[in-house]
Amino acid sequence: MSSQVKNQNKLKHLASAASVALAVILTLLKIVAALYTGSLAVLSSMIDSLADIFASSITFVAVRYASMQATDDHRYGFGKAEAISALVQSAFVAGSGIFVLYDGIKRLFNREVVDKPDVGIAVMVLSLLATLGLIIFQKYVAKKTNSLAIAADSAHYTVDVVTNLAIIVTLLVVKFFHFYWFDTVTALLVAAYLLFNAYKLACHAISILTDAELSDDIRSKVCQIVMDSPFARGIHDLRTRDLGGAYMFEFHLELDGDLPLSAAHDLTEMVEDNLQEAFPNAQIIIHQDPVGIKEERLDHKLKYRRRKRKK
């Protein structure tokens, strides 16, 4: 394992551990605030933090599992454990949203007074500042390591920032204007936001687990790098996927048909090195084809299927 990969794994481990620790601390603080204030908005944030403990713990385990090296049984590695973690996180977020939504609807018909809002405000401001610090660190780690699990955890805590701000505003409104219904309305909006973000997290995770193609920008960059080689005569049947923190590229490289096998191999290695420079840790499989060969190609099959769907 290279020193770069080891450093990336250390960063991911540290970020996931920090996430679990913060979730535990914030949950304990919000339990106290919810009991003191009786605020549904604070309770909704506490439930979300409780879900954070489970979700971040899963991320903690998934990051370590995904960092394992390839084995005889898993020759692509264990990177997709991070996508599974993100999918489970989306379920926790959705569960939190459903719970708050149910309690909010119930309170629309049975009004409850929010007491001692100052305690809730203090706890939520502290929670907001701590969460912002964690998000900054997580985004740094996600950018350095391309970790889906850390990115998903960061997205989850970004939602927490929005909800914390909304709850602070709510408690201020209750404190100064005594609009107690505002607490319930905020909780319902927070619940809707939680459900929306759960949907986005799930879609992203499922796209990786089902081997969805990478973005058009990445595919175009791969083609450009290949065709920038003066000996490359073409590229076709490009397939890409995210293995969980590392990309995989498979394609056919068209070369001069008169090249000796050893020369074709050396040129292909040059293309692979260029791609590795642009996409570190990428797994690359290249099949050499003599230019102009007539064969049934994946590109042709996919183009035919697109035409059939349009009819």
Question: Which positions ≥6 away from 274 have C-beta within 8 Å?
Answer: 225, 226, 228, 229
pLDDT of residue 286: 96
Specify the 3-state DSSP secondary structure of 98: helix
- Please tell me the pTM assigned to this model: 0.67
Q: Which domains does the chain have, with CATH numbers?
A: 3-209 (1.20.1510.10), 216-310 (3.30.70.1350)
**Percentage, residues of the chain above pLDDT 70:** 87
pLDDT of residue 46: 77
Is residue 228 predicted with pLDDT exceeding 90? Answer: yes
Confidence of residue 111 (pLDDT cuts 50, 70, 90): low
Is residue 133 predicted with pLDDT exceeding 70? Answer: yes
**Alpha-carbon distance 92 to 95, whole Å?**
5
| CA distances, 199 to each of 17, 86, 205 (Å) | 25, 11, 10
Residues 158-196: tens digit of each pLDDT: 777 777 777 777 778 777 777 767 767 777 777 787 788
Question: Which positions ≥6 away from 62 have C-beta within 8 Å?
Answer: 81, 82, 84, 85, 149
